[in-house]
Amino acid sequence: MTTADFVVVANRLPVDRVVSADGEESWRTSPGGLVAALEPVMKQVDGAWVGWAGQADLELEPFTANDIRLIPIALSAQEVAEYYEGFANDTIWPLYHDVIAPPQFHREWWDAYVSVNRRFAEAAAAAVAKDGTVWVHDYQLQLVPEMVRALRPDVTIGYFHHIPFPMHGLYAQLPWRDQVLRGLLGADVVGFQRAQDATYFLAAVRRRLRYEVKSTTVAVPDENGNRTVIAKAFPISIDTTPYLELAARPEVQARALEIRESLGNPKRILLGVDRLDYTKGIRHRIKAYGELLAEGRLNVEEVTLIQVASPSRERVDAYINLRDEIELAVSRINGDTDTMEHTAIRYLHQGYPREEMVALYLAADVMLVTALRDGMNLVAKEYVASRTDNRGVLVLSEFTGAADELRQAVRVNPHDIEDLKDAIMAAVEMAPGEQGKRMRSLRRRVLEHDVIAWSASFLEALSAARSSRP
């Protein structure tokens, strides 16, 4: 097997398998922030990507797509249920998002998580060249760094955590808390979205494992004495180029006008774009908007909310219930307030290609990002990057990683419905001059700190870690 100097390990491959009506198989680039973030990096290096193809019981040989060497990991239907839908998304996800939904703790899920993490680690260890680099991504694979280190002590290992890391009082609920910490500390550099997340992680290491922690470093005991691990924030961003290019296209601008016309040319369009997830604050957003309509502070003939809620984890009970709740709330508000010509909420339970998303961003006067807890939220940055006209208002939850950077947004506590209502009104009524002042500042931040800068800063930290090894 050909080895690579640089190996990315992520739950999913950066491509999705597509089978046409005549049975022909092809691969297309996956949507999502991780792929957009790493694809440019992978094309610049001698790299390989280890990941699952997204379908159960699919055995595939390594192949190349979009000029990236791909190493597929097979998962059985039972492993998908226990490792992915179970431990990753019904244990870790809710626990790490402040227990917004109750996490489920099942020993068989943990056993599956360990087993699958070992399979990913073994594939990465086999794929990486001598003295190479392995970059592991996200909460599905928290044990992989330690496992790779045991198999390949010669390589440099990075881990990036895309979701929040919880405060110790919540993290301590996890029955396998120490094993997960040791798994992460197998890396040379452990990256987080926010400084707060890194602080929570280091506090857990200090309290649970009793390792020496100084500033952003941990002294991890090994057979040679102590090994230094760096744990700090590396806030992720987007590849701004496609958003700038699409926003400049006449056909995309025309589509934005078409969207406004199809809604009856309201004075203001509000937009929410989320995965259908209980962490995203969609219910709170819809409740606040509905109350503004009921109180007469907003008028359905002048303001419309577009809510894009792309399908997510549709076999997990919490998500099934969430969809029912949101659709019922939308139906009630529309039933109470719609006219023949105007609708209060245009609810779209589907995903859209990037071209359509940029048209929506251009059409929207107000972007509502009201997550209850979010590692970063790249939608906020996509909206800002698309607003080449320096117009539009971003309403941004203070509980997102993006809030640390996008300080000229209208900040909001989404748990406070009255605060959320006032923030929406402030955005709807904001003068063009104030919009321009805020948006220029937001765009400067997003354009300067793009995905290239993010990956460069993380890889620079990995390089420094490699050069400091004995």
Are 239 and 382 within 8 A, CB to CB? no
Distance between CA 349 and CA 464 in Å, rounded?
45
DSSP secondary structure of 72-93: EE---HHHIIIIIIIIIIIIIH
**pLDDT of 201-240, one tens digit each?**
999 999 999 999 999 999 999 887 889 999 999 999 998 9
Tell me how far CA of residue 323 lies from CA of 201, 277, 282, 308, 351, in angstroms. Answer: 32, 9, 10, 12, 15
Asked whether the predicted pLDDT for residue 39 surpasses 80, the reply is no
Asked whether the predicted pLDDT for residue 390 surpasses 90, the reply is yes
Tell me how far CA of residue 276 lies from CA of 12, 191, 290, 313, in angstroms. Answer: 19, 26, 19, 9
How many residues would you count in the chain? 470
Asked whether the predicted pLDDT for residue 35 surpasses 80, the reply is no
- pLDDT reported for residue 1: 66
- pLDDT reported for residue 315: 74
Asked whether the predicted pLDDT for residue 397 surpasses 70, the reply is yes
- pLDDT reported for residue 2: 85
Average confidence (pLDDT) over 391-399: 98
- pLDDT reported for residue 223: 82
Distance between CA 254 and CA 285 in Å, rounded?
28
Q: Which of 163-172, 214-223, 311-320, 455-464 is predicted least confidently?
A: 311-320
- pLDDT reported for residue 222: 87
Average pLDDT, the chain: 94
Distance between CA 470 and CA 467 in Å, rounded?
8
The CA radius of gyration of the chain, in Å to the nearest whole number, is 23
Average confidence (pLDDT) over 191-195: 97
Distance between CA 470 and CA 330 in Å, rounded?
60
- pLDDT reported for residue 16: 83
**pLDDT of 323-348, one tens digit each?**
999 999 999 999 999 999 999 999 99
Angle 169-117-170 from CA coordinates, rounded to 5°: 5
User: Rounded to two decimals, what is the model's pTM?
Assistant: 0.94
- pLDDT reported for residue 32: 63
- pLDDT reported for residue 33: 63
